[in-house]
Amino acid sequence: MKGKMEQFERQRLIEEGKNLKEGLIALEEDLLKLNDKLQLEAQRIPNMTHPHVPIGGEDSSMTTKLVGSAPEFSFPVKDHLELGKELCLFDFDTAAEVSGSKFYYLKNDAVLLEMALVNWTLSEVMKRGFTPLTTPELVRSSIVEKCGFQPRGNNTQVYSIEDSDQCLIGTAEIPVGGLHMDSILAETLLPLKYVAFSHCFRTEAGAAGSATRGLYRVHQFSKVEMFIFCRSEDSEHYHEELIKIEEDMFSSLGLHFKILDMASEDLGAPAYRKFDVEAWMPGLERFGEISSASNCTDYQSRRLGIRYRPLEAPVASPRKSKSNLAPPQFVHTLNATACAVPRMIICLLENYQQEDGSILIPEPLRPFMGGRSVISRKS
Amino acid sequence: MKMSCLKGTTISFSCLKLAFPSYPSSFQNLPFRRTIKPLSAALQTSPATSPSTTKAEDQVARSHWKAAIDFKWIKDNKEAVAANIRNRNSDADLELVLQLYDHFFNLQKEVERVRGERNAVANKMKGKMEQSQRQRLIEEGKNLKEGLIALEEDLLKLNDKLQLEAQRIPNMTHPNVPIGGEDSSMTRKLVGSAPEFSFPVKDHLELGKELCLFDFDTAAEVSGSKFYYLKNDAVLLEMALVNWTLSEVMKRGFTPLTTPELVRSSVVEKCGFQPRGNNTQVYSIEDSDQCLIGTAEIPVGGLHMDSILAETLLPLKYVAFSHCFRTEAGAAGSATRGLYRVHQFSKVEMFIFCRPEESEHYHEELIKIEEDMFSSLGLHFKTLDMASEDLGAPAYRKFDVEAWMPGLERFGEISSASNCTDYQSRRLGIRYRPSEAPVASPKSSKGNLAPPLFVHTLNATACAVPRMIICLLENYQQEDGSILIPEPLRPFMGGRSVISRKL
């Protein structure tokens, strides 16, 4: 319409332009809606799976390592609830009145044990080059979703805050993942290794049964979590590193445990591969999960928008004006439990119980408990 | 201050509630209604001046917990109670409470009278009589029963309204508490002196930035404003502060605790907080009656709710470590930058349950513990006896500690120690059985058990981590931007004496 023309031709063009504009607006709206729907459906596609991961359900998970052996007791073994009761370590009953079931107070030496576990774990992981963090425990629900969790589904594990888009975190993985959201990191910064201490909150909706007594399944607990942001080619290496750190720590506490390569149906959407550690719990008379280490490859980073700028451009380009910057790539993220306090308390109480009802404190924790070597009845 | 509880009435209500099915109270149909109309009319036309009327009706509809308030005492001391309400600038309506109480008292008498009549009719029906007479008695009995049901419903509603209004009456006030607002608070003690710096002083945000200690910006994206990550040495500092504080307070005979951080909203209310008010400090959980705690005071108070403790157990002294969550609705201004006012923080809290005659002693003990700890960290601070308008409903008396924060160039609150006397215990239902009966009783069959009395509760901040971090960073900053770690904390930081830049 920029050129010279007859009035009626101009009029026709104006008309045509108007129609096209309206049509465009409608089309663009359709495009937005379609993209929303596409995203909604596509986000449900789980991460790809490592070729070595066994296909199938729970029973297909493979034990890759077995460490230590079950302790032998010359006296009847008690479970952590009974031991805790005699030693005045917990209160579940009052907590049920004050807060609801699956809540608890820790008392006396159990408080010292929790502090010792957290302090020791932080110290051990920091020695291995991880940066310590404490994190917000309220986060926007969009962050929860970007990490691969479902805050608003039925049977959601996530507590939501009234009149707010915020949720309580179920794991520090979420706020730590968010630490670098919508960023392009310099490659020289990678790997970024964090160890985060937080409280965690889980609704445990849909979880029931005898294995949920006492500390085994609770709504609130303290956890020390490891998180790594790295280059894509390094994630398998760091997955091995994380599981090794866990192995070393649990061994040094004298626990009897096995490492499982979790089967495809048990991975959870974000994980490319997941190693769980299950420790022997004599009172429960079975192995119970004490930690989980996942390689999420780029599943979370594509949602959180976390990329890195590789140092070297792929090929020398004649168009030097844009300089030789390689396009940014998505990082890989990994997370692993360094210490889930209630499960560790179960392990320590049940494995280290003595005939007189006292509990032996494993060596590494003693300096963190003022040098004490035993938890015994208050006189 | 004698406060006996209105125990009898409360218990009979719960029996009533269970015994009678819900019955539409249709006032107009029953001829009986005429005699009690003045009372129920008074109920319908509660003074519109009460600002909480609409909300009151909503809450009356819900069955709500009852505080063991000593109405008789309030009535007998109404001038003192009224003066206290004025001094505290409270919006409690004493006149309304007294009115409601009188109505309640009279309605209760009426209910008893009608009950008596009904029993009389029932007795009469036991004898032999003409059919017509029996029929009349049956009719009379039926009317009385229906009338009674309606009256009892009115009584329940009246009690709910009475409770609602009465629960707003703040605790009485210690005679030495200065009357007035913020400016009337009195300094009890001044410890240490402001450090002198030979270089420009930085605030904690700047120091934290240079030392890579915090991240507020990312936290604002991830969670919202007033959230933060602690990083590197700030994490160690937090752990050191918590570990050291727990250790120091345990040495003084306090039992360590960790607590639930989600609690039922009724427990929050019983401690004297308002989970559902406008500008509430309390986060609520969606589709739930649960809230996040703003202080461990709440779950620790709940630890002994609805209990009668043996006197020999008292005093019960707890030191609790928890995370705390506060909406900080309505708080704004420059003094809310950085760590000074945040939505989530770690706190170590002291809590004591004791006999009434000992609460003032333990209040002094708690403030002494705080002063000792803050002194040993080398802080410059003052202890304030808070004025009547700044007490908060549960506190009989409150001592705040404000420490010098060079970066803020003023004193900032780092702790608070309250004596709540029996305000919380009357709501939480916490009593103790005195060991000795007051007088040898001829009725030995019941043993010489003295009636249970309400405990007194006290709470005091041992360590509010972010405020302490501000104090330590700002007071101990060195010219090169590093931070000296005070002596007592060094063993808890692996022996280190300085926080400095990461290389």
ipTM for the predicted complex: 0.92
- The answer to whether residue B246 sits within a structural domain is yes
Per the annotation, the verdict on B410 as an active-site residue is: no
Question: Three-class SS of residue A182?
Answer: coil
Query: Is the confidence at residue A89, as pLDDT, over 50?
Result: yes
Q: Which of B134, B413, B433, B490 is catalytic?
A: B413
* pLDDT computed for residue A332 by the predictor: 98
- Cα separation of B67 and A156, whole Å? 36
* pLDDT computed for residue B56 by the predictor: 46
- Cα separation of B379 and B401, whole Å? 11
Phi, psi (deg, nearest 5) at residue B403:
-105, 150
Do B186 and B159 lie in one domain? The reply is no
How far away is chain B from the Cα of A201, in angstroms, using its nearest Cα? 9
Do B343 and B387 lie in one domain? The reply is yes
Residues of chain A with pLDDT > 70: what percent? 94
Do B98 and B221 lie in one domain? The reply is no
Of A100, A159, A181, the CB nearest to B221: A181
Query: Is the confidence at residue A253, as pLDDT, over 90?
Result: yes
Q: How far is CA B381 from the centre of its chain?
A: 27
| Angle, CA B347 vertex, CA B343 and CA B353 arms, to 5° | 125
Do B152 and B188 lie in one domain? The reply is no
User: Can you read off the two tokens belonging to residue A284?
Assistant: 């429960």
Phi, psi (deg, nearest 5) at residue A279:
-105, 150
Beta bridge partners of A287: A280
Q: Hey, of A93, A98, A115, which one would you mutate to test binding to chain B, going by the most B CBs within 10 A of its CB? A: A98
Across the interface, whether the CB atoms of B231 and A219 are under 8 A apart is answered no
- Cα separation of A314 and A5, whole Å? 52
Across the interface, whether the CB atoms of A115 and B242 are under 8 A apart is answered yes
Cα distances (angstroms) measured from residue B165 to each of A42, B1, B395, B407 = 55, 22, 18, 44
- Cα separation of B394 and B269, whole Å? 11
CB A142 within 8 A of CB B265: no
Do B153 and B205 lie in one domain? The reply is no
Note the pLDDT tens digit of each residue in A32-78: 999 999 999 999 999 999 999 999 998 999 999 999 999 999 999 99
Per the annotation, the verdict on B326 as an active-site residue is: yes
Question: Three-class SS of residue B503?
Answer: coil
Question: Three-class SS of residue B339?
Answer: helix
Cα distances (angstroms) measured from residue B373 to each of A225, A326, B378, B414 = 32, 56, 9, 12
CATH number at residue B118: 1.10.287.40
Do B284 and B361 lie in one domain? The reply is yes
User: Can you read off the two tokens belonging to residue A302?
Assistant: 């594509």
| Nearest chain B residue to A161, by CA | B285
- The answer to whether residue B441 sits within a structural domain is no
How far away is chain A from the Cα of B341, in angstroms, using its nearest Cα? 14
- Find tokens 């993209």 and name the residue: A35
User: Can you read off the two tokens belonging to residue A12?
Assistant: 């026709």
Number of other residues whose CB lies within 10 A of the CB of residue A217: 18
Note the pLDDT tens digit of each residue in A278-297: 999 999 999 999 999 999 99
Residues 6+ apart with CB under 8 A from A343: A215, A216, A279, A288, A289, A290
Find, among B45, B169, B58, the residue nearest to B103 by Cα. Answer: B45
Note the pLDDT tens digit of each residue in A254-272: 999 999 999 999 999 999 9
CB A225 within 8 A of CB A132: no
The residue out of B107, B139, B168 marking a domain boundary is: B168
A370: left (phi over 0), alpha (psi -120 to 50) or beta: left
The residue out of B110, B137, B168 marking a domain boundary is: B168
Domains along the sequence of chain A with CATH: 45-312+327-375 (3.30.930.10)
Q: What is the Cβ-side half-sphere exposure of residue B202, based on CA atoms within 13 angstroms?
A: 17
| Angle, CA B332 vertex, CA B328 and CA B335 arms, to 5° | 105
Annotated binding site of A for L-serine: 171, 202, 225, 335
- The answer to whether residue B17 sits within a structural domain is no
* pLDDT computed for residue A313 by the predictor: 59
Across the interface, whether the CB atoms of B285 and A97 are under 8 A apart is answered no
Per the annotation, the verdict on B490 as an active-site residue is: no
- The answer to whether residue B286 sits within a structural domain is yes
- Find tokens 């926080």 and name the residue: B499
CB A170 within 8 A of CB A150: no
Q: Which of B341, B397, B427, B431 is catalytic?
A: B341
Do B311 and B419 lie in one domain? The reply is yes
List chain B residues with CB under 8 Å of A98.
Answer: 260, 263-264, 267, 299, 302-303, 305
Do B99 and B214 lie in one domain? The reply is no
CB A204 within 8 A of CB A159: no
Query: Is the confidence at residue A181, as pLDDT, over 60?
Result: yes
Do B144 and B281 lie in one domain? The reply is no
Q: What is the mean pLDDT of chain A?
A: 93
Q: Hey, of A87, A94, A99, A203, which one would you mutate to test binding to chain B, going by the most B CBs within 10 A of its CB? A: A99
- Residue A25, Cβ density class (10 Å: 0-12 exposed, 13-18 middle, ≥19 buried): exposed
CB A67 within 8 A of CB A256: yes
- Find tokens 């495809």 and name the residue: A264
* pLDDT computed for residue B5 by the predictor: 38
CATH number at residue B360: 3.30.930.10
Across the interface, whether the CB atoms of B238 and A131 are under 8 A apart is answered no
Do B158 and B190 lie in one domain? The reply is no
Do B324 and B212 lie in one domain? The reply is yes
Question: Three-class SS of residue A259?
Answer: strand
Residue B371 labeled ligand binder: no
Which is more confident, B2 or A89? Answer: A89
- Residue B42, Cβ density class (10 Å: 0-12 exposed, 13-18 middle, ≥19 buried): middle
CB A157 within 8 A of CB A170: yes
User: Can you read off the two tokens belonging to residue A24?
Assistant: 């465009």
Instruction: Quote the number of domains for chain B.
Output: 2
- The answer to whether residue B468 sits within a structural domain is yes
* pLDDT computed for residue A326 by the predictor: 83
Mean pLDDT per block of 10 residues along chain B (503 residues) reads 38 34 36 39 39 44 81 96 96 96 94 91 84 88 91 94 94 96 95 96 96 97 96 97 97 98 96 85 95 97 97 97 92 73 97 98 98 98 97 96 96 97 97 76 58 97 98 96 96 93 67
* pLDDT computed for residue A206 by the predictor: 72
User: Can you read off the two tokens belonging to residue B385?
Assistant: 């006896």
Q: Residue B205 carries which side chain, given as an amino acid letter? A: L
The residue out of B104, B139, B168 marking a domain boundary is: B168
Per the annotation, the verdict on B34 as an active-site residue is: no
Range of the domain at B104: 71-168
Per the annotation, the verdict on B206 as an active-site residue is: no
- The answer to whether residue B64 sits within a structural domain is no
- Cα separation of B133 and B362, whole Å? 69
- The answer to whether residue B322 sits within a structural domain is yes
| Nearest chain B residue to A165, by CA | B223
Name the residues of A annotated as catalytic. 202, 217, 289, 292, 343
Note the pLDDT tens digit of each residue in A209-232: 655 679 999 999 999 999 999 999
List chain B residues with CB under 8 Å of A122.
Answer: 235, 239
Do B417 and B456 lie in one domain? The reply is yes
Note the pLDDT tens digit of each residue in A343-378: 999 999 999 999 999 999 999 999 999 899 999 986
- The answer to whether residue B27 sits within a structural domain is no
User: Can you read off the two tokens belonging to residue A338?
Assistant: 């360094």
User: Can you read off the two tokens belonging to residue A76?
Assistant: 């009847």
- Cα separation of A45 and A16, whole Å? 43
Q: Which of B118, B168, B326, B431 is catalytic?
A: B326
User: Can you read off the two tokens belonging to residue B498?
Assistant: 């300085």
- Cα separation of A144 and A159, whole Å? 11
Which is more confident, A336 or B278? Answer: A336
List chain B residues with CB under 8 Å of A178.
Answer: 218, 221-222
CB A156 within 8 A of CB A170: no
Across the interface, whether the CB atoms of A105 and B259 are under 8 A apart is answered yes
